[in-house]
Amino acid sequence: MALKSAVQQAPIGKPLDGMVLIFVALFVVFLVLAVVGQLLNWNWRTWFPGAEGAQSMLGGVKSAVYTVISHLS
Instruction: Give a yes or no: residue 33 inside a domain.
Output: yes
Instruction: Give a yes or no: residue 2 inside a domain.
Output: no
Confidence of residue 3 (pLDDT cuts 50, 70, 90): low
pLDDT averaged over the chain?
A: 74
Gap between the Cα atoms of 40 and 38, Å rounded? 5
Instruction: Give a yes or no: residue 6 inside a domain.
Output: no
Cα angle: 27, vertex 64, 30; to 5 degrees: 20
Instruction: Give a yes or no: residue 9 inside a domain.
Output: no
Instruction: Give a yes or no: residue 7 inside a domain.
Output: no
Q: How many CB atoms lie within 10 A of CB 61?
A: 13
- What would the pLDDT profile of 48-60 be if each residue is shown by its tens digit? 665 566 667 777 7
